[in-house]
Structure 1
Amino acid sequence: MAAKVGSVTRRTFLASTAAAAAYGLGGVGPAFAEVNWKKYAGTKIGVNLVKSPRGEVLQKYEKEFTDLTGIQVSSEQTPEQQQRQKAVIELNSGSPSFDVVHLSYHVQKRQFEKAGWLADISGFMKNPELTDPSLTESDFSQAGLLYAKNQQGQMLSLPFSVDYWMIYWNKDLFAKKGLAYPQTFEEMVVAAEALADAKEGTYGFVARGLKNANVPVWTSFLLGYGVDPVDANGKLMTDSPEAIEAAKLYQRLLTKAAPQGVAGFNWSECQSAFLQGKVGMWLDGVGFAPPLEDPEKSRVVGKVGYGVMPKGPKAQASATFGDGIGVTAASKNKEAAYLYCQWAVSKLMGARLLQAGGGVPFRQSILDDPETRKGVKMPPQWIDAVVGSGKISKLGLPVIQPVTEFRDIIGIGLTNLLAGGDPATEMKKATEQFKPILERSEKA
């Protein structure tokens, strides 16, 4: 385990490189000395957090931020759906009670940008009195920057925690069939069908079949065909030839190699099936890994492989989702709020988040840091898969306002495929149904 991190005063926070490494900072300690952390001492800021492991880590160490900066923090964690509603109501009022907001990128990015609710922090990031030199755009994964920036290239938030999609695979089942981890979609299909063995009671592949929840599975395939669900010009690509091929792949894997009843599976049912040791591959987010290595919950402890998404016909991509933390445009304490955001995504806090199993930082330097990795309870291969996924990260859902409607409508079409629907027919029907909804949202 990495050295235990106790209460961090300003003096210890700015201590030697060796001490910083022990904190999981990877030698970034002296760099913090260039930031005038005490400049806004006495300022009070409000922080609106999603109730989650990420929010809990921030609240747990909040006093350290106050010790470092002298800034008083009033933070609140609220369950996700309620937090989104509360944030929208207060931001719409023009005078929210909070200066910092925790946002879900794949749901709220477009909404927040169109409404102008976030402050542009691009200038703060270039100011050496406000930003330590290790916090650079290049340290965030490509998907993180796509989420954090608007179309004008302004940085409107800091990427906080990411969920890359990867393949969990059962090494024992692969070995029994003499199979190697697939490098391409084609090899993945071959392996899945070979692993589906009625006599052995095993299945080759599992992923979400439940409508709405299943859309990221299909987009994971679509990205491998080199296409986004909505292109750069705002055109729906959901009935394109590539989208139909991705739907065919979805249908084949989930009807030829998956457990019965998969049309009702969300991530929890998929995880349960994989935990039993009867499934060869499971496609989902990296954050669902810890129970697989828990002897009290899992029959596959020590048998799990963690693989980067195989290559598609035109690209290799890991569908990516995540959340960020930003300063509200209405805040009267933007610089102080920005210091909080910077602290939240710092190497120290990112290491804590990762080691606690509460999330994966968007910053590659945290994942690459040897001291941080020592304290991670998951196998090294899991971290390797996370790092590898970060290098091929692509947004897993389109950046649009009606994301829920998109997932509902496309999801129904995908679920229909599991009952024998025709991929081209279902994708065209879903596209026609969603198109006017998307057009209305952009005009609003």
Structure 2
Amino acid sequence: MTVATVNNGDMIRMQKMSGDFEQKHPGISLDWVTMEENILRQKVTTDIATKGGQYDIMTIGNYEVRIWAKQGWLVPLDDLGDDYDAADIMPAIREGLTYEGTLYAAPFYGESSMVMYRTDLFEAAGLTMPEDPTWAFIGEAARALTDTENEVYGICLRGKAGWGENMAFITSLGHSMGARWFDMDWQPQFDQPIWTDTLQFYVDLMTDAGPPGASTNGFNENLALFQSGKCAMWIDATVAASFVTDPKESQVADSVGFALAPHGGTDKHGSWLWSWNLAVPASTEHADAAKAFIAWATSKDYTTMVAEVDGWANVPPGTRTSLYENPEYREAAAFADMTLRSINAADQADPTVDPVPYIGGQWVGIPEFQGLGTAVGQQFSAALAGRVSVDQALENAQRFTEREMKKGGYIE
């Protein structure tokens, strides 16, 4: 079987450990195709939409699951074995993977977003990170902590263009400030003043306190920067916590603190809800074998195996209720409570201040969003790089989004 997955640390670990699965299933061998996340999304979307049959197991997000299940593109996963315990999957995560009462993907790890910060730098500067910070505080602290002579930057944020890269962060930021993609009549909102305020805040913050070349940095690039001590703060996926606190990988492992994703003075945080999941395309000829692998990789037994090899702090987080009830995990993972609080704070059904016709914290739950998010993300990345102004980027985003929504029949 061919497994398509993303080049994140937890998936790399899964590939290394997959020999255990092959030993238990001697008739099955695995071929791995590991890609950067923008490329993965393009490849698996093309393959499943054309029924290409290139992959037997796909790593997809909770954005795709219900849309693809409705299209009949995914194999149901309602028979992963008597001991699989699907009821143990966290309700917020399970809901996003269920269509008409049936599970269509199994979560490998789940996440929200939060602030990761250098406690040593905060202490030296006489700053205290609130548990529930505002964007105004984040902006002030980032500028105060920037030390370009020593290559320490106040904040690292996603700038790489992509609907799941910079737009994951910027959409969440916008939602927490009162911006929205669409009003209740599906009219695009990038021509509204709140979007100007949001994007200008982001560009100014990164210009004043971000690292050079930020417009090409995604999750993995910012992870490397933070681990090497070059970021005072990083706001990104909660799953990063185990990597920034691992002394084998992180130079700052003993001085990392955590806080909720910031808010803009409202009750909406810049939190997202995401899971990387394993799913079986309907085009596969090996559905039973694929389901056997998914049952292995997303089981409680797999979690225990990772703990035995790499320690409890490094197990895939954010998917099972039982993990957060496990005292060994909570003792080993200083970030466990904040991860759980962040996941519980994310509200996909009501993500922003004003009403919206869509679900999704860092994405919009319509099929067109992949194209829309990528195109708008390119404009916003160009604004960060200084190739276009904030006003021009928003004007271009508004024009493109209006055109696509008319094509889709959402507006006239």
Query: Which category describes the TM-score, using the shorter chain as reference length?
Result: 0.7 to 0.9
Aligned match for 2:72, one of 116, 123, 133: 116
The 3-state SS of whatever aligns with 1:61 is helix
Secondary structure, counterpart of 1:222 in structure 2:
helix
Say whether the 8 Å CA contact 1:105–1:322 is kept in structure 2: yes
**Cα distance in structure 2, aligned partners of 1:107 and 1:404:** 13
Partner SS state of residue 169, structure 1:
strand
2:354 aligned residue: none
Whole-angstrom distance in 2 between the partners of 1:64 and 1:371: 28
Note the C-alpha offset of 1:252.
3.0
Partner of 2:261: 309
- Residues 339-392 of structure 1 deviation map (CA, whole Å, 9 limit, x = unaligned): 553443222223445774474342232243223456x5xxx3233332222222
SS of alignment partner, residue 302 of structure 1: helix
Question: What amino acid is the match of 2:114?
Answer: M
Q: Report matched runs for 1:186-197 at 5 Å.
A: 186-196=136-146
- C-alpha displacement at 1:302, in angstroms? 0.8
Answering whether residue 284 of structure 2 is matched by residue 325 of structure 1, we say no
- Structure 2 residue aligned with 1:75, among 18, 22, 30? 30
Provide, for residues 305-346 of structure 1, a one-character-per-residue CA deviation record: whole Å limited to 9, x for no partner.
Answer: 133312342412422333222344467886776555344322
d(CA) in 1 for partners of 2:47, 2:158: 33
Does 1:398 pair with 2:357?
no
CA distance in 2, matches of 1:218, 1:83: 19
**Superimposed CA distance per residue, residues 136-181 of structure 1 (whole angstroms, 9 cap, x where no aligned partner):** 1x73252x2353134x454322222234332220111111222111
More divergent stretch after superposition (355-364 vs 156-165): 355-364
Counterpart residue number, 2:326: 369
Residue number in structure 2 paired with 1:149: 98
Match for residue 120 of structure 2 among 154, 158, 172: 172
Give the conservation status (yes or no) of the 8 Å contact 2:110–2:319. yes
1:207 to 135, 157, 164: 157
Distance 1:50 1:291, change over 3 A: closer
For the Cα contact (< 8 Å) 1:58–1:344, is it kept in 2? Answer: no
Residue in structure 2 matched with residue 9 of structure 1 by the alignment: none
- Is structure 2 residue 213 aligned with structure 1 residue 246? no
Q: What SS does structure 2 have at the residue aligned with 1:206?
A: coil
Higher mean C-alpha deviation, range 346-355 or range 245-254: 346-355
Whether the 8 Å contact between 1:320 and 1:396 is mirrored in structure 2 is yes
- Match of 2:110, SS? strand
Quick check: 325-334 or 282-291, which moved more? 325-334
Find out whether 1:426 has 2:381 as its counterpart.
no
387, 392, 403: which one aligns with 2:340: 387
Say whether residues 1:135 and 2:101 are aligned partners: no
Q: Secondary structure at the match of 2:401?
A: helix
Aligned AA (2:325): D
CA contact (8 A) 2:108 2:276 kept: yes
CA distance in 2, matches of 1:417, 1:349: 41
Higher gyration radius (CA): 1
Instruction: Note if contact 1:222-1:243 (Cα within 8 Å) is conserved in structure 2.
Output: yes
The residue that corresponds to 2:379 in the other structure is: 412
3-state SS in 2 of match to 1:104: strand
Q: Could you say what secondary structure the match of 1:319 adopts?
A: coil
Q: How far 1:110 moved relative to its partner?
A: 6.4
Structure 1 residues 259 and 329, CA, compared in 2 at 3 Å: closer, same or farther? closer
Q: Which runs of 5+ in 1 are unaligned?
A: 1-45
Does the CA-based 8 Å contact 1:65-1:343 persist in structure 2? no
Structure 2 Cα separation of the partners of residues 441 and 403 of structure 1: 13
Per-residue CA shift, 1:187-230, capped at 9, x if unaligned?
22232233235687653222123433422221231232366546
The 3-state SS of whatever aligns with 1:204 is coil
Q: 1:146 to 1:85 in 2, by over 3 A?
A: same
C-alpha contact (below 8 Å) 1:106/1:397 kept by paired residues: no
Q: Secondary structure at the match of 1:381?
A: coil
Alpha carbon RMSD of aligned pairs, Å? Answer: 4.0
Aligned to 1:307, what secondary structure does the other structure show?
strand
Residue 330 to residue 415, structure 1, CA distance change in 2 (3 Å): closer
Q: For residue 415 of structure 1, report the CA deviation from its aligned partner.
A: 3.4
1:233-272 superposed Cα distances (whole Å, 9 cap, x missing partner): 7654544554433323312321232234433434454344
Once residues 83 and 251 of structure 1 are traced to their aligned partners in structure 2, the CA distance between those partners, rounded to angstroms, is 26
2:66–2:98 contact (8 Å) kept in structure 1: no
TM-score w.r.t. length of structure 1: 0.69
TM-score, normalised with respect to structure 2: 0.74
For residue 73 of structure 2, give the secondary structure of its aligned residue in structure 1.
coil
1:86-122 deviation per Cα after TM superposition (whole angstroms, max 9, x unaligned): 785477449x587x63231267446633531113446
- Does the 8 Å contact 1:108/1:401 carry over to 2? no
- The sequence identity of aligned pairs, in percent, is 20
Say how many residue pairs are matched. 380
State the shift of 1:78 in Å: 1.8
* Cα distance in 1 between the residues matched to 2:317 and 2:13: 10
Q: Which moved more, 1:395-404 or 1:350-359?
A: 350-359
2:297 is matched with which residue: 333, 344, 352?
A: 344
Judge conservation of contact 2:77–2:103 (CA < 8 Å) in 1: yes
Q: C-alpha distance in 2, partners of 1:293/1:318?
A: 21
Q: Which moved more, 1:362-371 or 1:226-235?
A: 226-235
